[in-house]
């Protein structure tokens, strides 16, 4: 899965953006005294979205690899 996350520049940008969202939410909750459940909701949403997106990348990469392997034989 780690390889799928770093496979393209767009995927790397996505990873940095999601990390920035988590850090920003954490800083916002810490500095403003907002309820901690907001950060937990953001983290849970990020984790769920990341899970499904990365799994789709893995499936897409595996399908592309299997098709290209079949073409070279």
Q: Could you report the per-residue pLDDT of 12-23, keeping only the tens digit for each?
A: 888 899 999 999
Q: Domain residues for 19?
A: 2-72
pLDDT number for residue 72: 59
pLDDT number for residue 48: 94
The DSSP symbol for 73 reads -
Token duo for residue 46: 């990020």
Nearest residue to 5 (alpha-carbon basis) of 35, 14, 70:
14
C-alpha gyration radius of the chain: 17
SS3 33: coil
pLDDT band at 5 (very low <50, low <70, confident <90, very high): low
Number of structural domains in the chain = 1
For 27-68, write each residue's pLDDT tens digit: 999 999 999 999 999 999 999 998 898 888 888 888 888 888
Residue with tokens 């499936």: 59
Distance of alpha carbon 42 from alpha carbon 14, whole angstroms: 16
């Amino acid at each position: 899965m780690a390889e799928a996350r770093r496979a393209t520049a767009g995927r790397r940008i996505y990873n940095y953006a999601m990390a920035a969202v988590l850090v920003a939410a954490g800083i916002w909750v810490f500095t403003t005294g907002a309820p901690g459940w907001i950060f937990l909701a953001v983290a849970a949403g990020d984790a769920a979205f990341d899970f499904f997106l990365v799994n789709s990348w893995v499936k897409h990469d595996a399908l592309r690899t299997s098709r290209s392997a079949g073409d070279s034989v």
